A = this chain, B = another copy of it.
Amino acid sequence: MSELNLEQAQTMVAAALAHARANAMNPLAVCVLDARGALKAFAAEDGTSLNRADIARGKANGALALGMGSRSLLKRAKDQPYFISAATAAIGGSLIPVPGGVLIRSGEGKIIGVVGISGDTSDNDEACAVAGITAAGHLPDPGAD
């Protein structure tokens, strides 16, 4: 089955937060979008800063917009900062090119959604997204350096 449902999305949020708590990370904002880019599930740990959710969503939006995990967007931002800047404007203002926006792929490799996380280091944010997607039985695609 190739669609993301609410139960799976909520499992991803819960598992991502559990991973962060088990590793004593900073408070995270965790956002799950479906394949259309529509918000499916979200939670902000107590103590997150005012716009932390917007950063998490920006990682998710960017990954889905260009069809690659946001770690690949970071590489592109270093190589061609003008492209990332222009793409951000073109898609409407929300594309955060650092790790932590991880595509959700079905068994056949189809993109069925994305998890975006912000609050700790980018590497830790990404690790929580991977843990969440894996816990729900899907394949995480964080992109590559």
- Residues on A close to B: CB < 8 A? 5-6, 9-10, 29, 34-46, 48-55, 57-58, 62, 64-68, 77-78, 80-98, 111
A64–B48 CA distance with the chains assembled, in angstroms:
10
The distance from the CB of A85 to the nearest CB of chain B, in whole angstroms, is 6
Q: Are A90 and B52 in contact (CB under 8 A)?
A: no
Other than A40-B43, A83-B96, give 6 A-B pairs with Cβ distance below 8 A. Answer: A42-B42, A50-B65, A51-B64, A55-B90, A55-B91, A90-B93
Q: Which residue of B lies closest to A57 (CB)?
A: B90
Q: Is the CB of A85 within 8 A of B88?
A: yes
Given A82-B77, A85-B88 in contact, is the A36-B39 Cβ separation under 8 Å? no
Assuming A77-B82, A97-B82, is B88 touching A6 (CB within 8 A)?
no
* Bound-state Cα–Cα, A43 to B40, Å: 6
Q: What residue in chain B is nearest A66 (Cβ atoms)?
A: B49
A94–B85 CB distance below 8 A: no
